Amino acid sequence: EVQLVQSGAEVKKPGESLKISCKGSGYSFTSYWIGWVRQMPGKGLEWMGIIYPGDSDTRYSPSFQGQVTISADKSISTAYLQWSSLKASDTAMYYCARHGGGVSSTLDYWGQGTLVTVSS
């Protein structure tokens, strides 16, 4: 069974750094792109960027380029999303999801989400 299990909720202060994780199992982690999606409170879905764990090829949506860093450790089947300096506007639910058919494809399996709250 394909599963993506994300790290738990985080509460941070503005200016702090953060790295959240997404561990894949039940499939060949290095053979599928993993994407990250943001959902701000009460809002819709925003695709942030993508990584291919096999070679760490990473691409970002222009809206998120320079704002976050996506990485992966294929030895432990885990992808990451990190911030160097959080802002209150980063408060959101963040989902990882597997791209089922290549870099431009649908998101066929999703993690349960990680809620990030940034507040002073």
Residues that bind another protein (CB under 8 A): 35, 37, 44-47, 59, 61-63, 95, 97, 100, 104-108, 110-113
Q: Taking Cα atoms as reference points, which of 103, 102, 111, 21 lies closest to residue 60?
A: 103
Q: Does residue 36 contact residue 70 with C-beta atoms inside 8 Å?
A: yes
Nearer to another protein, 46 or 73 (CB): 46
Q: Where are the beta strands (DSSP E) in 40-91?
A: 45-52, 57-60, 69-73, 78-83
The distance of closest approach from Cβ of residue 16 to another protein in the complex, given in angstroms and rounded to an integer, is 26
Closer by beta carbon to another protein, 86 or else 97? 97
DSSP conformation class of 112: -
Least CB distance from residue 28 to another protein, whole Å?
18
When the beta carbons of 24 and 111 are compared against another protein, the nearer one is: 111
